[in-house]
Amino acid sequence: MPALNAMIPGIYKHSRCRNNVYPRCDVRRYPVPDESVFWSQPYPDYQPPVYESDVLAGKDWADLDVDDPNFKVRWNQLDGKVSRVSFIGEYEVRDGYPMNLFGRTGLRGRGLLGRWGPNHAADPVVTKWKRDAAGEPVVNETTGRRILQMCAIERHDCGEWAIPGGMVDPGETVSTTLKREFLEEAMASADGVATDQVEQFFTGGREIYKGYVDDPRNTDNAWMETVAVNFHDGDGSVVGRFDLAAGDDAAKVRWMDVDGGVKLYASHASIVRRVADWHDAHW
């Protein structure tokens, strides 16, 4: 699992978006060995297939084709309400196509992603302490540290457990996305619980990570970036008190014990590890 602070271009080598079959289709990525990931490393034989999912056609959340005359775009800038700014830095645009700052993925085009270039998500990591029947925090016997629980969802699209995140809508602030996604995906049956207390809870977040995500949907020309924020319910009195109920893009939802063995979607485990470290919790 990569340490998040090492996720810098030219150092970090993505792996979940390399050397596999692209999700939800049977297109195989062109092989990209470790020594050929970065654009600075020559790879004369590189001939990745181009793929774009049919689900993008006519969607208002998806860009037009790069060569569509109606596609007027401002790369590396706020483009109307859509941010085309990468958290990582300025990306190169080659022959009209933005280039993945982390290098080759073995696939050109957008795949399943709606935007060319950066696609922005937001991930609320909602945590509380695991407690016993008497309400006392549970401590791991080996490390002597308290065990953290996080709200996790099982994603419909791939069946993997994940942080209940989602895409930032055009013009939306990240803090709105964070709260909206949590309420939509994890508290679906909690209509009417968005009380002042919950509102208040979602103002008290700590930013954990902002940057690239090694997401299986990434391509040479489109990739995921996220802002992950931890909201910790220290005494379990706010969201810790509600039953979680899956909605929207989630099949299941639960409070999951956090430790070094967690298997989560994309780079989510690295994000959660940072949260555990921050709270000095068991890992």
Q: Which residues bind ligand BGC (CB under 6 A)?
A: 121, 123, 162-163, 165-166, 213, 215, 224, 226, 266
The rounded distance, in Å, linking the Cα atoms of 65 and 72 is 10
83 is written with which tokens? Answer: 């941010």
* Min separation Cβ 210 and ligand BGC, Å: 12
Q: At its nearest, how many Å lie between ligand BGC and the CB of residue 14?
A: 12
Task: Report the residue number, 121 or 239, with the smaller CB distance to ligand BGC.
Answer: 121
Amino acid at 12: Y
Shortest reach from residue 224's CB to ligand BGC, in Å: 4
The minimum distance between CB 66 and ligand BGC, in angstroms, equals 22
Half-sphere exposure of 115 (CA within 13 A, CB side): 25
Cβ proximity to ligand BGC: between 53 and 226 the closer is 226
Q: Which is nearer to ligand BGC, 153 or 239 (CB)?
A: 153
State how far the Cα of 108 lies from the Cα of 22, in Å rounded to an integer. 11
- Residue nearer to ligand BGC on the CB measure, 86 or 226: 226
Phi (first) and psi of residue 198, to 5 degrees:
-70, -45
Minimum CB distance to ligand BGC smaller for 174 or for 213: 213
- What is the nearest approach in angstroms of ligand BGC to the Cβ of residue 273? 15
Q: Which residues contact 150 (CB under 8 A, 6 or more apart)?
A: 125, 126, 127, 163, 255, 256, 258, 272, 275
User: How many residues can be counted in the chain?
Assistant: 283
CA distance 92 to 240: 44
